[in-house]
Amino acid sequence: MGMFLPSDIYERISNFLNGNIDFPFIKEEEVMGIFFLFGKSYGVKSNTDVLTVKDIVRRTIDQIKREILLSKKIIESNIDLIKENYHRRILQIYSEAEDFSYDEYINKRITRDPSILMSCYSQHIANYKQNYFFEIIGPIKKNQIDTKLNNKFLERMIMLSYNCKNSEMLPFNTFEPFSKWIINN
């Protein structure tokens, strides 16, 4: 799981956690994009694999919806609780880390943490009362993507989500910013 829009999201999260910026740190008109990648080790090859991924996708979507509902209640009652929840997760990351003496590593681990990113996405959607949609792509075949992306996406499934009602509201193809982000990261 990761977040690819806005492109400087990791820096913003870091600044928010350090107290340099306040919530919300994503503007209402900005497009947010998150992704989930399935089939990392062995690909998604059989019909059973596809059904398994679709079940995981369904549960993931349910989890995001619950997170958005919870976020609405938190934002209405106590916005400081948002930062407190991030800090709780940071403590978990520190306790799980084997060697947290390397500041750059731990900061990267924190700002890219799936729980923190999912919270960030959900909280901003809740704050602005935005719509959102999900798109499932794949399993991806050779002729569907640029050859330089084959090693990352071949025989895998991707779920993308954006903070707008549907893909027609985006100024780009849903896969375009994600694939650019993957190439650069």
**Taking the CA of residue 88 as centre, how many other CA atoms within 13 Å lie in the half-sphere pointing to its CB?**
8
pTM score, whole prediction = 0.92
pLDDT band at 177 (very low <50, low <70, confident <90, very high): very high
Distance (Å, whole) CA 164 – CA 23: 20
CA 138, 120, 88, 109 dihedral sign is positive
The region that residue 34 occupies, defined by phi over 0 for left and psi between -120 and 50 for alpha, beta otherwise, is: beta
pLDDT for 133 beyond 90: yes
Distance (Å, whole) CA 131 – CA 4: 18
Determine which of 2-11, 30-39, 79-88, 115-124 has the lowest per-residue pLDDT on average. 79-88
pLDDT for 28 beyond 80: yes
Model confidence over 136-176: pLDDT tens digits?
999 999 888 888 888 889 999 999 999 999 999 999 999 99
pLDDT for 100 beyond 60: no
